[in-house]
Structure 1
């Protein structure tokens, strides 16, 4: 009997390992950069880059993450569920994904956060995010940051768009916000920089290891570094699950014992 159980466990482990290997998508290698002589118009460049943007209805993402807030770093698991232009749902778990410590629901109008460690509930308008970033950052900008896209507000005729050493560079200003987007040779964002010198706010996002998601590309890893005054938040995301256009729900309920944070 013991032998049969061990054999069954071995077979099950082999099946799970095979499935995990099969599910892992291959990284698309970006070709080497080379100087391009062709002189594209700004409109042509915008069309070229826009056509490579990830298009989706929903996304289900799971990532191993290191969350560092002012030097206090913790390894967590983060699950994201995104409905295009409508909802970003986030669940943060610790202890190997066993214990949920926080949950957030973000829409273009509001931000709701459950702190399950402290039994606290935060409900604020979307403008609450401006405590940490520039007022030019809206819901669609936040969604773009999480999905490896260039925010539509930056791919416009008002931006400076040029090739630099064979790759596209998009720069410009929106009131106090200076933005700089560097693309790789796959025509996907390699680095996004947002800076508000007046208010001492900065955001740098780096994307690596793009992989296929349907007919588009999605980054396997995202490094987010933010600075707002003296407050620093760094998030390193290594995605272990990336599913597009799947049926999703966004569960979010507040237990009666939770305290509303004013």
Structure 2
């Protein structure tokens, strides 16, 4: 693996998982209702109910990452404690860890083992790379194929149907968002655009399988950009477990340097 790609793993952790909604703004409702096409059989409540639910999640995945046109295959070990912790370990070199991420609703911690560096920041650290509207909940949703929470807030969203596909879409200031669902309300695609900033996030979800009484996507593709650098991830879950006991270790070696 080329060193320049390895050195960008740290950037990837920030760029891919923190630029989740470009310059998204929080949707504010003036009407308190969602505009729904008269003949559409699904409601906003149906979409909420379809969302994958869990208390803890543990997953192992194969990942193909492209940073500025340079590809690298890596392994990801993901652990989530719903509403509390996202823990992600990135490994390469036959299982050698190169980076670790630990996110809570209040803080962001990153270890870059390639450069023996680490970051300890409050959660609003991510707002250097995206809008202050982005919360911990949006990050969780991307990993599990749920509709992004801000799109589920009663407001200017609109549900439509076309060729047996359903769409939850809307506009707010410079942002256009669009979710595409199939006939059983599995999220297939997600698109977010900020036309003024020329930023875009695209996600696709495939290979849904039953898991804990719900549908879970075992293939996820994400693409985004930060400072004109394109970053994309193709994620293939190998194993996914829910309601498991697990820890979320984040131990920083003494010789590592704190990055301000």
* 1:190 match: 188
Taking the aligned partners of 1:174 and 1:86, their CA distance within structure 2 comes to 28
**From 65, 78, 91, the counterpart of 1:93:** 91
Question: Please, what is the CA RMSD of the aligned residues?
Answer: 1.8
1:175 CA displacement: 4.2
Matching residue within 206, 210, 213 for 1:212: 210
Distance 1:212 1:228 in 2: 35
TM-aligned CA deviation for residue 147 of structure 1: 0.6
User: Aligned partners of 1:238, 1:216: CA distance in 2, in Å?
Assistant: 18
Shift of 1:164: 2.0
Q: Tell me: CA distance 1:51–1:248, structure 2 relative to 1, closer, same or farther (3 Å).
A: same
Partners of 1:179 and 1:148 in 2: CA distance: 15
Structure 2: gaps spanning 5 or more residues: 1-36
Instruction: Kindly indicate whether residue 138 of structure 2 is the aligned counterpart of residue 141 of structure 1.
Output: yes
Partner Cα separation in structure 2 for residue 103 and residue 53 of structure 1: 27
Q: Report the more deviating stretch, 159-168 or 236-245.
A: 159-168
User: Structure 1: which 5+ runs fail to align?
Assistant: 1-36
The partner residue of 1:117 within 114, 134, 154 is: 114
1:177, distance to aligned residue in structure 2 (A): 3.0
Report whether the alignment pairs 1:127 with 2:119.
Answer: no
SS of structure 1 residue aligned to 2:149: coil
The answer (yes or no) to whether the contact 2:40–2:159 under 8 Å persists in 1 is: no
1: distance between equivalents of 2:150 and 2:38? 26
- What TM-score do the two structures reach when normalised by structure 2? 0.80
Instruction: Kindly indicate whether structure 1 or structure 2 has the higher relative contact order, using CA contacts under 8 Å at least 6 residues apart.
Output: 2
Displacement of 1:40 = 4.2
Structure showing greater radius of gyration is 1
Question: Aligned pair in 2 of structure 1 residues 131, 68: CA closer, same or farther (>3 Å)?
Answer: farther
Matched, 1:238 2:236: yes
CA distance in 2, matches of 1:85, 1:175: 28
- Relative to the length of structure 1, the TM-score reads 0.80
* Aligned position for 1:156: 153
Aligned counterparts of 1:124 and 1:204: Cα–Cα separation in 2: 27
